[in-house]
Amino acid sequence: MWKWLFTTIDMSFVGLFLSGAVLFLNSLMLLGKADGKSVGIFNLFVGSIQIIIPFYLLISSDQNNWELYNIAAIFLFGLTYLYVGVTFLKGLDGSGLGWFCLWVAIVAVVYTVTSIIHFHDVVNALTWGMWAFLWSLFFVINTLKKNIDEYLGKVAFVQSWVTLTIPALLYFLGVWNTPIVVQIWTYVLILSFVYFAVSFVKTRVSFKVVQGSNPRSS
């Protein structure tokens, strides 16, 4: 069982590493620096991997509740990337994707609370809280049709590094769970939340200024 558990953790961090690449490209697309269709292809590629891996883990696991809990988290990412990829490539209306992202955001809140209450893991809780926020923004942009591309692009860019790419690299280097890294990363995630809040306020103020400068039509 322990061998299987470590295999699951290893594969999860490989998935996080690839997810960092996807979110990085998606952020550049939102910021107008990458083509949506080319980014959509990479979403499909990584999304397929993030579906195959958990299916393999599901079949080979003992299927107790916490094993299924960890495997389900990988599916959340895989299904999101597949849905995003198809939406980009086919030019579909994003409302369905947005509602799916809202559902995932609610599930991510449950993972956030579980990380605090059951696992007592502050870093994991902050990370899941960030992902819940990110998926919520995808609901806002796709279903509510709010023009927050630039803000969402900034949030996605930061999260691609602080919640995915760098943690995965630190795990590969064997230092992720050391006390000093846990302490540093707690501060990094908190500061990221502060940046998101400040950036949101600036975006709101800028939007109001632009609106106020437009002459009223008679």
Which DSSP string corresponds to 31-52?
TTSS-HHHHHHHHHHHHHHHHH
pLDDT reading at 118 higher than 50:
yes
pLDDT reading at 210 higher than 60:
no
Q: Are 154 and 26 in contact (CB under 8 A)?
A: no
Cα–Cα distance measured from residue 186 to residue 162, given in angstroms and rounded to the nearest whole number: 10
Q: Are 172 and 13 in contact (CB under 8 A)?
A: yes
Per-residue confidence at 12, pLDDT binned at 50, 70, 90?
confident
Range 145-161 average pLDDT: 97
Q: Which pLDDT does position 58 carry in this prediction? A: 84
pTM, whole model, 2 decimals?
0.90
CATH number of 2-212: 1.25.40.600
Range 67-78 average pLDDT: 92
Cα–Cα distance measured from residue 48 to residue 115, given in angstroms and rounded to the nearest whole number: 27
Range 145-152 average pLDDT: 95
Q: Are 73 and 100 in contact (CB under 8 A)?
A: no
How far the first Cα of the chain sits from its last, in Å, is 73
pLDDT reading at 216 higher than 50:
no
Secondary structure element (H or E) that encloses residue 97, with its range: helix 95-117
> Taking CA 69 as the corner, what is the angle to CA 65 and CA 72, rounded to the nearest 5 degrees?
130
Percent of the chain with pLDDT over 70: 89
Q: Are 23 and 84 in contact (CB under 8 A)?
A: no
**What are the contacts of 175-183 at 24+ separation with CB within 8 A?**
182/122, 182/123
